[in-house]
Amino acid sequence: MYGHHGMLEEREGQTTVLSPSAQNQDLKTNVQLLHAEDANPRSRSTSLREGAALARLESPSQAPQRRTEESEPIPKPASPKKKPRKITVRTLREMKSSGEKITMLTAYDATFARLLDEAGIEMLLVGDSLGMVVQGAENTLSVTLEEMIYHTRCVARGTTRAMVVGDLPFMTYQISPAQALESAGRLVKEGGAHAVKLEGGEEVAPQIAAIVRAGIPVIGHLGLTPQSVHAMGGFVVQGRAPEQAEVLKRSALALQEAGVCAIVLEGIPAPLAQEITASLSVPTIGIGAGVGCDGQVLVIYDLLGMSPDFKPRFVKTYTDLFSGISEAVRSYRDEVKDEVFPQPEHSFY
Element (H, E) at 221: strand 218-223
List the pLDDT tens digit at each of the 349 positions of the chain. 434 444 444 444 444 444 555 555 554 555 455 455 444 544 444 454 545 444 454 454 444 455 445 556 676 666 666 777 899 999 999 999 999 999 999 999 999 999 999 999 999 999 999 999 999 999 999 999 999 999 999 999 999 999 999 999 999 999 999 999 999 999 999 999 999 999 999 999 999 999 999 999 999 999 999 999 999 999 999 999 999 999 999 999 999 999 999 999 999 999 999 999 999 999 999 999 999 999 999 999 999 999 888 888 999 999 999 999 999 999 999 999 999 999 999 999 9
> If DSSP codes are grouped into helix, strand and coil, which group holds residue 77?
coil
Largest Cα–Cα separation, the chain: 115
pTM above 0.85, yes or no: no
For the chain, which residues make up each domain, given as ranges? 2-58, 89-298
Beta bridge partners of 221: 200, 264
Q: Residues 96, 98, 102, CA angle at the centre, nearest 5°? A: 45
Contact 149, 190 (CB under 8 A): yes
- Looking at domain 89-298, which CATH architecture does it have? Alpha-Beta Barrel (3.20)
Contact 89, 195 (CB under 8 A): yes
Centroid of chain to Cα 203: 35
Q: Which residues contact 142 (CB under 8 A, 6 or more apart)?
A: 131, 135
Catalytic residues: 266
d(CA 268, CA 343): 55
